[in-house]
A and B are shown apart, each in its own frame.
With several copies, the nearest count.
Chain A
Amino acid sequence: MPDSRTAMPAVTTIRLVYLARLREAFGRSDEDLALMVPAPNVAAVLAVLRARGGIWAEELAAGRAVRVALNHTVAQADAPLRNGDEVALLPPVTGG
């Protein structure tokens, strides 16, 4: 069994969900994303999406009011991710 400290980072596959205005902006409601970084977290997902450029970089730029929900609960940037997690990007809510 290899030493975990020197092993290649495992692939973490998460489910991305885009809501409301973001779903329309990105032209999709969801997708699977394979993260190949050690200790993946919410910030890593946002970095991967921003790196796509265009509308992704624009909508997810720092300072934009986008909230992230991890498995249906609002999460901070340092929240760690595991295989099969659902990560949703939420524009400011307007219910009620």
Chain B
Amino acid sequence: MPVRVQTDDFDAGREIATLRGSDARIGAVATFIGTVRDINDGTPVTSMALEHYPGMTEKALMAIVEEARGRFSIMDALVIHRVGALRPTDQIVLVAVTSAHRGDAFDACRFIMDILKTRAPFWKKEVTPAGSRWVDARVADVDAEQRWSTDA
């Protein structure tokens, strides 16, 4: 299963090693890790709650991985997304992609992150000194997704 939604933390090194296995066709592994920052939109963030839509989440992530497979020449891909209570410096998401060459690995990894940001049903609620607030969707994320439709 190339996608996982979990409350537990993940060990990026171990996940990458498992994804690579002993496949000697792989020449490139591109990885992205998203982490919780202690500030957002200028406001200190003390913690956050990550909520998702069980049932849809895995399906949406699988669809994104399949779309990446169709667009890029990759061997394998892994997406892990955490939910629940998270604090600054905690890991949120891992995307790892293996390929023969680096171009496809980088492209597919970035593609998966860009599409995940606008399509996967996750929501962040931040706790700040002024109370808690749902995070607003970023215009930059919509722009990043658009990039892939105009490139196509």
Whether A and B touch (Cβ < 8 Å) is answered with yes
A residues 68-91 with Cβ under 8 Å of B? 69, 72-74, 86, 88, 90-91
Q: How many residues of A contact B (CB 8 A)?
A: 18
Q: Are A95 and B50 in contact (CB under 8 A)?
A: yes
B108 at the interface (CB under 8 A from A): no
Q: Are A95 and B134 in contact (CB under 8 A)?
A: no
A72 to B92, CA, bound (A): 22
A73 to B61, CA, bound (A): 11
Q: Are B116 and A19 in contact (CB under 8 A)?
A: no
**B39 CB contacts on chain A under 8 angstroms:** none
B residues 55-84 with Cβ under 8 Å of A? 55-56, 59-60, 81
**B87 CB contacts on chain A under 8 angstroms:** none
Stretch at the interface among B9-17, B18-26, B118-126: B118-126
- Among B34, B102, B113, B122, the residue within 8 A (CB) of A93 is B122
A96 to B124, CA, bound (A): 9
B residues 74-100 with Cβ under 8 Å of A? 81, 92-93
Give, as a whole number of angstroms, the nearest-CB distance from A93 to chain B.
6
B52 at the interface (CB under 8 A from A): yes
Q: Are A94 and B124 in contact (CB under 8 A)?
A: yes
A57 at the interface (CB under 8 A from B): no
Q: Are B122 and A95 in contact (CB under 8 A)?
A: yes
Beyond A94-B124, A94-B136, 18 additional contacts (C-beta under 8 Å) are A19-B53, A19-B123, A20-B51, A21-B123, A69-B56, A69-B121, A72-B60, A90-B121, A91-B123, A93-B119, A93-B122, A94-B137, A95-B116, A95-B120, A96-B34, A96-B113, A96-B117, A96-B141
